[in-house]
Structure 1
Amino acid sequence: MNEYTIFQVDAFTTRLFGGNPAAVVPLADWLDEATLQNIAQENNLSETAFFTRSDQDDADFHLRWFTPGAEIDLCGHATLATAHVLFNELDWYEETLRFSTQEAGILTVSRGEGSRLSLDFPARPGAAIETSHELVDALGIQPLAVYKARDHMALFATEADVLKVTPDMDKLCRINPDGVIITAPSQDPEVDFVSRFFAPNHGVPEDPVTGSAHCTLVPFWADKLGKTTLEARQVSARGGELSCIYDGDQGRVYMSGQAVTYLKGAIFV
């Protein structure tokens, strides 16, 4: 049995018990996939991030993310949490971190103003699709329109509509294997749009704050509102705030936020 350090970090928030909690586990060498999945399942958080040092010239670390149910291809809040751990707990000395990932390419996280960190992620614009009866039935309310990239994204008229959605998770599981985003304009004049995200197939009925969903949300709202700098709020029970920039020419979404360390301990595997 071996001992490994573990951190738990609340991401996309300035306060404990806000934002989205993620576990972060530094590794000297990769454990087998079944063990990584078991650790994530035991943590029972929306994501557990694992990282090792990288021997690639264009990356400092290799990064992987696991939900309680499966490994996923992209995760924003656990990347922010990992960067927070490296910068603030493990004394990473550079101003930028470069993460090599299995499917999302090289992701960078840079120190921003104050304690803010900025993530450079691939844009994933959604394409308009027909609104299915199955999706309406699962959400319990008719959206204005539906789009699809990795996730389905349903557009609603008001923030109140987004807040009152109480999806049938069993039915939602049959809509998309990854997740379903719902979104609307914000009622707060300081915020451009709000969203919620559901991923019941991954053991995450509602995710508190979802960076990867904003890879689809930000291109959509940038085009709809005619602006490239946007303030976003995920209106889950815990809630979270993201400042976003869309670079359509380069196909990138930049998200910035803060994080707070909640826990540091050890696991024995």
Structure 2
Amino acid sequence: MKGIKVYHVDAFTDQPFGGNPAGVVPNAESIDSFEMQSIAKELNLSETAFLIPSESTNTDFCIRYFTPSSEIDFCGHATVASAWLLGTVYDWAEKKNMITFETNIGHVPVEFVTKQGALHAVIMKQVEPKVKKIETDLAELATYVGLTKDDIDTNYPVRLGYTGNWHLLIPVTTRKAIDQAIPQILKLKKHNESHNICTTHLFTFDSQEENCLIYTRDFAPAVGIHEDPVTGSANGALAGYLVLEGILNSKVDHVFCIAQGHAVGRPGKIDIIIYVEDNKPIIKVGGRAVPTIAGTFLVEGE
């Protein structure tokens, strides 16, 4: 038997049992893909991150992300969880002000933000945002996500947004409508698989949360997750959408928070930073995290 160290980390929260839990395996260099998928399935969290020390001078770790059913290219909350674990339990925040992960979509640098000698937040720079149109009837789409057509806020366009994965971004008139949404999981899964969509992300400016501009919910049946509590990649894609579609002024910087997870009893808060560099929007997403479980998987092997 061999022992594999694993952590359970709640991301985008400063309270245990809030935010979005991720599995993190900090020393995964001896684990193959089959074992990674098996561990992710056993943990049964929305994503588990596996860290492998990088041989490159430009990155610190290679990182792979697995849902209980498949590997995905990028996961925001598992990146935050991994960086927070490395910064605190493994003391990286005392040695460096930044850590860089090599992912399937490219390099993702994560800043350590410290206050009074302690780690206060981790902020990841996501890959360049993109948006594109999707040809789906609004009434049909509303049915898939458990809304009425009138619940969709037509002041803003329905789009696919990207900062590592493609997310279906649906503007909704009220938080109440979002909270009451009961998606048709099988139909939504089939729709998203046919369009290569990782998650469906409902958002509204009717946040009702203090200091939060936007409130969201996220459904991801195409990758084996009915609902993701607090979603770093989808909210990064949403931030890119806001500037690329002209909803937020692309000529000025933006700093705001997004609330998510309340509908499933795991409230979380995501910090968003948007600025322009070389005529391109830069999206940064971050927050805090709390390790809640440390343990060892016992698996067959030397």
Q: Do both share a fold (TM > 0.5)? A: yes
Q: CA–CA distance in 2 between the matches of 1:100 and 1:211?
A: 17
- Report the alpha carbon displacement of residue 30 of structure 1 after superposing the two structures with TM: 4.4
1:182 aligns with 2:202: yes
Q: For 1:174, what is the secondary structure of its paired residue?
A: helix
Pairwise mapping of residues 43-122 of structure 1 onto structure 2 (< 5 A)? 43-92=43-92, 93-102=95-104, 104-114=105-115, 115-122=120-127
User: Counterpart in 2 of 1:232?
Assistant: 258
Q: For 2:201, what is the secondary structure of its paired residue?
A: strand
Q: Which runs of 5+ in 2 are unaligned?
A: none
Pairwise mapping of residues 246-257 of structure 1 onto structure 2 (< 5 A)? 246-248=274-276, 249-257=279-287
Contact 1:140/1:167, CA 8 A, preserved across alignment? yes
Q: CA–CA distance in 2 between the matches of 1:163 and 1:205?
A: 15
Q: CA–CA distance in 1 between the matches of 2:256 and 2:25?
A: 32
User: Counterpart in 1 of 2:171?
Assistant: 155
Match of 1:201 among 215, 222, 225: 222
Q: CA–CA distance in 1 between the matches of 2:175 and 2:283?
A: 23
Q: CA–CA distance in 2 between the matches of 1:28 and 1:174?
A: 33
Contact 2:69/2:224, CA 8 A, preserved across alignment? yes
Deviations 1:243-268 (A, max 9, x none): 11123434431112000110111111
User: Counterpart in 2 of 1:220?
Assistant: 241
1:267 aligns with 2:294: no
- Report the alpha carbon displacement of residue 27 of structure 1 after superposing the two structures with TM: 2.2
Q: For 2:40, what is the secondary structure of its paired residue?
A: helix
Range 19-28 or range 247-256, more displaced = 247-256
Contact 1:183/1:193, CA 8 A, preserved across alignment? yes
The alignment's TM-score, normalised by the length of structure 1, stands at 0.93
Range 239-248 or range 92-101, more displaced = 239-248
Q: Which amino acid aligns with 2:144?
A: A
Residues 183 and 140 (structure 1 numbering): CA distance in 2 closer, same or farther, change over 3 Å? same
Q: CA–CA distance in 2 between the matches of 1:137 and 1:30?
A: 45
- Report the alpha carbon displacement of residue 129 of structure 1 after superposing the two structures with TM: 3.1
Q: For 2:204, what is the secondary structure of its paired residue?
A: strand
Contact 1:158/1:187, CA 8 A, preserved across alignment? no
Could you say what the CA RMSD is over the residues aligned between the two structures, in angstroms?
1.7
Q: For 1:216, what is the secondary structure of its paired residue?
A: helix
Q: For 2:182, what is the secondary structure of its paired residue?
A: coil
- Report the alpha carbon displacement of residue 228 of structure 1 after superposing the two structures with TM: 2.1
Q: Which amino acid aligns with 2:113?
A: G
- Report the alpha carbon displacement of residue 113 of structure 1 after superposing the two structures with TM: 4.2
Q: For 2:232, what is the secondary structure of its paired residue?
A: coil
Q: CA–CA distance in 2 between the matches of 1:56 and 1:95?
A: 18
Q: How many residues are matched?
A: 268
Pairwise mapping of residues 8-27 of structure 1 onto structure 2 (< 5 A)? 8-27=8-27
Q: For 2:230, what is the secondary structure of its paired residue?
A: coil
Contact 2:110/2:125, CA 8 A, preserved across alignment? yes
User: Counterpart in 2 of 1:244?
Assistant: 272
Match of 1:165 among 160, 181, 192: 181
Range 258-267 or range 159-168, more displaced = 159-168
Q: CA–CA distance in 2 between the matches of 1:138 and 1:24?
A: 32
Residues 165 and 57 (structure 1 numbering): CA distance in 2 closer, same or farther, change over 3 Å? same
Kindly, what percent of the aligned residue pairs are identical?
34
Q: Which runs of 5+ in 1 are unaligned?
A: none
The alignment's TM-score, normalised by the length of structure 2, stands at 0.84
Q: CA–CA distance in 1 between the matches of 2:173 and 2:130?
A: 20
